Amino acid sequence: MGRKSLKEPRQKEIIKAFYKVAKKEGLENASIAKTAESIGINPSLVIHYFKTREHLIYGLIEYILDKYLLIYNIPAEDAAHPGDTLLKVIDNIFSSKWNILFDDSVSYSCYSLAFRDKIIKGKYKMLLDTLRKRLEQLISDCRDKGVLDVADPGLTADIVFVLVDGAYYYLSLVDDKKEYQAKLNQYKKQAMIHLNFASPAQSKK
């Protein structure tokens, strides 16, 4: 299933408004009318870009992906070497930066619809596959440079994201900040074990 990005500024504005309404009132209570009212436009303009509420949700999933892909935007000074880039991305994934990119309640509400809507299921599969493919490419680059000793970059990326998905699903239930950080550190350590970084001397070759 191909990805249709939110290219037009007005589309993005409407989706951001829909997201804010869903974040405040719950996805089940977010409507075309409330979205239009929140940014002072006529509901017909929302319908012009997104024919139905379902299409708004499809656009919202695209917006989720755009937000999560920001985790791969590493400043040039932190990305001089493939290993540095990968380490920074792993730091970002297993940190508060990842978890504040998108509201959990809205994301999980969208995800739950995948069990009843084949289009949403396909879009969520595309979202998760895109994130994995980006990480797989980073792992492949590091392996080619001798930074990592991994046999299968694709499988390794998949395992890391299995850890990520499970970690944040569970941690969304943890209120104690110390417990939250301790468990997040444990999950990150397991990810690093699977990445199997070479020694510093080997990494620079």
The structural domain count of the chain equals 2
Give a three-class secondary structure readout of 123-166: HHHHHHHHHHHHHHHHHHHHHHCCCECCCCHHHHHHHHHHHHHH
Distance of CA 110 to the CA centre of its chain: 13
For 128-175, how does the pLDDT look when each residue is reduced to its tens digit (9 = 90+)?
A: 999 999 999 999 999 999 999 999 999 999 999 999 999 999 999 999
- 121 with 162, same domain: the answer is yes
Query: Does one domain contain both 193 and 115?
Result: yes
Give me the pLDDT at residue 80, please. 79
Closest listed residue to residue 135, CA positions, set 59, 72, 200:
72
Give residue 152's pLDDT: 97
Within-domain flag for 178? yes
Same domain as 30, residue 83: no
CATH code for the domain of 109? 1.10.357.10
**DSSP string for 47-90:** HHHSSSHHHHHHHHHHHHHHHHGGGG---GGG-SSHHHHHHHHH
- Calpha distance 107→125 (Å, rounded): 13
**Tens of pLDDT, residues 60-77:** 999 998 889 999 998 887
In a domain, 176, yes or no: yes
- Does residue 6 carry a pLDDT above 60? no
107 within domain boundaries: yes
Residue 33 lies in a domain: yes
User: Kindly report the CA angle at 171 between 17 and 158, in degrees rounded to 5?
Assistant: 85
pLDDT of residue 184: 94
- Statement: residue 203 has pLDDT above 90: no
Tokens 């994934």, residue located: 93
Tell me which residue has tokens 């417990």: 179
CA gap 143, 16 in Å, rounded: 38
Number of residues assigned to the chain = 205
- Find the domain containing 117 and state its range: 79-203
Determine the straight-line distance between the first and last CA of the chain, rounded to whole angstroms. 40
The percent of residues above 70 in pLDDT, for the chain, comes to 93
Q: What CATH number should be reported for the domain holding residue 14?
A: 1.10.10
Q: Phi first, then psi: give them for residue 148, nearest 5 degrees.
A: -120, 155
Distance of CA 99 to the CA centre of its chain: 9
Provide mean pLDDT across the span 23-29. Answer: 95
pTM of the model: 0.83
Task: Assess if residue 72 is contained within a domain.
Answer: no
